[in-house]
Structure 1
Amino acid sequence: MDAMGQQALLQAWSLVLAGKDSEVPAFLGAREDALDLPATEEPYRLKRLQGWGMFAFGLRFVGGLLWNRVVETRTIFLPKAAVAKLHKQAQDDISGEFVSEGDVLTAWTTRAVASSAPARPVTVLHPLNLRFRLPSLINAPGVFIQNMAVSAFAFFTPELLRGPLGPIALENRRQLMEQATEPQLLALLHEMRQNYTPGSDTNILCGESNALLMPLTNWTRADVFRAADFSAAVVKVGEGETRINPPGTMVYQHANSMRSSPTMRNVFVIHGKDHGDNYWLTGLQLPATWAKIEEEVKKL
């Protein structure tokens, strides 16, 4: 189940709790593979890591595990005003171009990771949700709760990551838009099926063999803070001047892996906005990266 699947489940749960069973949408995909779609003639454009390139990447990754054994998990609270300041800064850097808050947060976190380590390329791995990209899924008569995310990549040079925020955010947006077309997504699905063997991971890895891999997922669109509405079960309402959430809704949601792994590093999860439009992020980072992020937070 991906973040949008969690949203659908929480919304359905809330409807049933409120006695609105008839409003629960049909859950699709339990008996058929909604992603078993015909291949496209357009080839997949990205350069896959294979053979010696994958071997070299693996050696560097293992070397990093041995050299940097300590990984810390922390959560970042970014007030609405702080994110607005970052967004304005990025927009000023690229006058006339548009970048989203998600692009800006990607740029901000990626630059922090890159500036805390020796100069090298960075490959940001983004989950790209097919629900919003393929017509057969967009127009489906119900909801899918299974994982429908595939890998998309943004490649950054060391020079770009040493520069201002705006160009990094714009480059992230440009690359993701190129990969989010229907032909490219169908080509990616075909590539994944062609290389699948039972028991193996279907995802593929792209980029340079000497790049730092940084997985980043943005759950803002799932709006998990508002997906659960348990107000129908509230028997007594607490009030206070600092309250920002409606009764029966969450003030914070924490998501983390149930199993720790030394391979989980350089990871960021953008949980989304709370009821005050403040952002919450969780990272699994090296101590040097957290020190850099603390510096950047103080500037806000």
Structure 2
Amino acid sequence: MVWPFNKTPVAPERISTDEVIPLFDRDDTATNKGVSLEFSMIYDEVLDADKIYGALWTLLEKPGWRKLGARLRLNDKGKLDYHVPAQFTNERPPFNYTHLVESTPFSQHRIGAKFPALTGKLQVLDALGHERLLTDEESTKRTLEDWTQHDVGQLGLHILSFPDATIVTITWLHTLLDAMGRHALFRAWQAVLEGRDNDVPPFLGYHSDPLEKLGTSSTAEKEVSMQPYLVSTLGMLRFAFNNIVYEKYFYPDDSARMVVLPAAEFAKIKAQAFVDLDSLDPSRITYTTSSPRKPFLSDGDITTAWILRLYARANPEIANSNPSRIFSIGNVMGMRDIVRTSEPKLLPPATEGAYIHNCISGSWSIMSVGDMLSLPLGHIAARIRSDLVVQSSRDHLEAAQRDAAGGKMNLYGSGDMVFSTLTNWAKAKLFEMDFGAARKDGEGNGKAVPKFIYPIAHSTSLPLRGSGNCIGRDKDGNWHFGMLMRKEFVEGFVKEIEKIGGERS
């Protein structure tokens, strides 16, 4: 029986003048449709909200960039379409906008108390957990239906103004863009704010996807390096039960923590990681191509190994499990550089066009729990590096994209594995988002870059516990991380930080 007060939400009536564009295959996936993000940048400067708002509106009026102001709709085949308004108006703006002015200084506000001053030591911050304190519940979207059932743009801009600080929050559904797409958006937004409209790059992929042919090559060798670890259908069911059904039923509460690793501490960790390579078989080390050849580890290899091992040691269910149990690390890997530099080239250089759409794949590192807990950090980082080198080749990428056609999601490891993913945003240089042109204290003179960046991901499609992100490096060289875990594991995580000389804030 259908009760009259249980009305099923329906999409707004189609506007005949809207331009309809199907989403690209790598955007319209079950994973992307189930993940929304809130991305808050905290500035010590007092910023002019009208200038920030106006610059974003101006950008989204530009050819191609208008696509970011489209509405999301499900078509008759269950796929997503963009409906781009012929004209943006106050009634149908390109993005959802709110601005709240607080009379209490940020330094004395309940939100400000969550972001204490950095001490120059390793710190773990309580931050905001999953509390929605930075955006308004009514105006912020979270699930796919929040977009498809309302006539709203895909982006949300929410500005919180204090007498001594400003918080700028962007919200979106993952169907819209990835981290490097956000980087391109921010750079274009900043260019408009600074009056450099000529520096806004052309928008790539308005009607058709330049990457449409990726994964269709018949000459690419079948990807075999990870094939022995491909999780079977039965294994996927076991993984889903362990990580979704069991976890959510018996331990429903998540908790997030931010970790700040000072530049000086990271320098020590990095130096030790390279010393660790002295005890590793040279065949397992990646070397530079220049002469003389030297061992190579990126900062990302080292930070990924460091934060995930820290989490593993703090989690009693990992630390006390069978040492032979598989520990699978999923590294989110950007594809733009690969398809820009290898043949056939599918994208021009970044200066010649901005590809905003999702353009990511994955790099997997498989080891045992025992190795993750006991190996020297440099050995773990070297494993991550060597796996990335193999899995970022064009042939491997073509094969992996072919296997993922239709939005299929493959997992590597085993059904009872420990699974942790890390998204590294350092390359996106998010701490360089400069709103200096909107400063109120000097008519736009000087810089204004974030002191803190606080991201929140809401997922109905992926288990996120035990995973995190490297947000990047701030202007002082401090590394910022976020980790999501079962609430019951937080105290152990904090104690692990304290054990290595850190402090809770």
Report if TM-score (shorter chain) is over 0.5: yes
Tell me which of 234, 239, 252 is aligned to 1:52. Answer: 234
Q: Map 1:132-281 to 2 at 5 A.
A: 132-135=337-340, 136-137=345-346, 139-140=348-349, 141-161=352-372, 162-193=374-405, 196=406, 201-226=407-432, 228-237=433-442, 247-258=447-458, 263-281=463-481
Which structure carries more relative contact order (alpha carbon 8 Å, separation 6+)?
Answer: 1
Following TM superposition, the consecutive aligned residue runs of length 4 or more in structure 1 with deviations greater than 3 angstroms are 62-70, 258-263
Q: Is the 8 A contact 1:65 1:263 kept in 2?
A: no
Deviation at 1:295, TM superposition (A): 2.0
**Distance change >3 Å, CA 204–CA 20, structure 1 → 2:** same
CA distance in 1 between partners of 2:434 and 2:260 (Å): 23
Matches of 2:396 and 2:461 in 1, distance apart?
Answer: 32
1:243 maps to none
For the residue of structure 2 that corresponds to 1:156, the secondary structure is: strand
Letter in 2 for 1:150: S
Mark the CA change 1:259 to 1:114 in structure 2 (over 3 Å): closer, same or farther: closer
Higher strand share: 2
**Candidates 29, 32, 35, aligned match of 2:208:** 32
Opposite residue 328 of structure 2, the aligned amino acid is: T
Distance 1:186 1:126, change over 3 A: same
The residue matched to 1:134 in structure 2 has which SS? helix
Question: Cα gap change, 1:284/1:134 in structure 2, threshold over 3 Å: closer, same or farther?
Answer: same
1:28–1:144 Cα contact (<8 Å) kept: yes
Q: 1:68 to 1:97 in 2, by over 3 A?
A: farther
Question: Rg: which structure is higher?
Answer: 2
Contact 1:83 1:101 in 2 (8 A): no
Letter of the structure 1 residue corresponding to residue 326 of structure 2:
P
Aligned AA (1:205): L
- From 177, 188, 192, the counterpart of 1:12: 188
Percent identity, please.
28
Deviates more, 1:273-282 or 1:135-144: 135-144
Under a length normalisation based on structure 1, what TM-score does the superposition of the two structures give? 0.87
Q: Describe the SS at the equivalent of 1:143.
A: coil
Aligned residue for 1:122, secondary structure, equals strand
What is the match of residue 492 of structure 2? 291
Structure 2: gaps spanning 5 or more residues: 1-176, 279-293
Q: Does 1:111 align with 2:309?
A: yes
Deviation at 1:261, TM superposition (A): 8.6
Superposition map of 1:41-120 within 5 A: 41-45=220-224, 46-47=226-227, 48-61=230-243, 62-95=245-278, 97-115=295-313, 116=315, 117=318, 118-119=321-322, 120=325
Please give the per-residue CA displacement for 1:147-200, whole angstroms capped at 9, x wherever unaligned. Answer: 11112211121231122211111101111111000011011111112xx2xxxx
Give, as a single letter, the amino acid of the residue that structure 2 aligns with 1:217. Answer: T
Question: 1:67 deviation in Å?
Answer: 4.4
Query: Is contact 1:130–1:137 with CA below 8 Å preserved after alignment?
Result: no
Structure 2: which amino acid aligns with 1:275? K
Q: Mean alpha-carbon deviation: is it higher for 50-59 or for 210-219?
A: 50-59
Q: Give secondary structure in 1 for the equivalent of 2:455.
A: coil
RMSD: 2.3
1:121 paired to 2:323: no
Greater percentage in helix: 1
Aligned residues: 286
